[in-house]
């Protein structure tokens, strides 16, 4: 999976999301990719809640917010990582 600042969770099982997001954000931080869009989809909101509950627990996360409509609206979350 490319570490390019875009993580699309549609391709993964919900049970894998926490570990995947954690590992992906760490890899982005290591590469200096500090702005990351996590695409969780709109659906029922379950993946969004999982992601947005996880993010404040990760030490590398400086800030996160729901994406603008142009970037996916409530189907995506922008994450700003702390630089190393």
Q: Where are the domains of the chain?
A: 6-81
Q: Which one has a higher pLDDT value, 1 or 40?
A: 40
| Phi and psi, residue 33, nearest 5° | -90, 100
pTM over 0.85: yes
As its CATH architecture, domain 6-81 has 2-Layer Sandwich (3.30)
User: For 33-62, how does the pLDDT look when each residue is reduced to its tens digit (9 = 90+)?
Assistant: 999 999 999 988 899 999 999 999 999 999
**The pairing of beta strand 76-81 with beta strand 61-66:** antiparallel
Q: Cα–Cα distance between 20 and 14 in angstroms, integer?
A: 10
């Amino acid at each position: 999976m490319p570490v390019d600042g875009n993580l699309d969770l549609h391709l993964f099982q919900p049970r894998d999301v926490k570990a995947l997001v954690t590992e992906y954000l760490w890899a982005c931080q290591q590469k200096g990719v500090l702005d990351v869009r996590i695409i969780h989809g709109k659906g029922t909101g379950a993946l969004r809640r999982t992601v947005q509950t996880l993010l404040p627990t990760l030490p590398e996360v400086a800030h996160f917010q729901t994406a603008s409509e142009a970037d996916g609206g409530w189907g995506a979350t922008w994450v700003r990582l702390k630089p190393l």
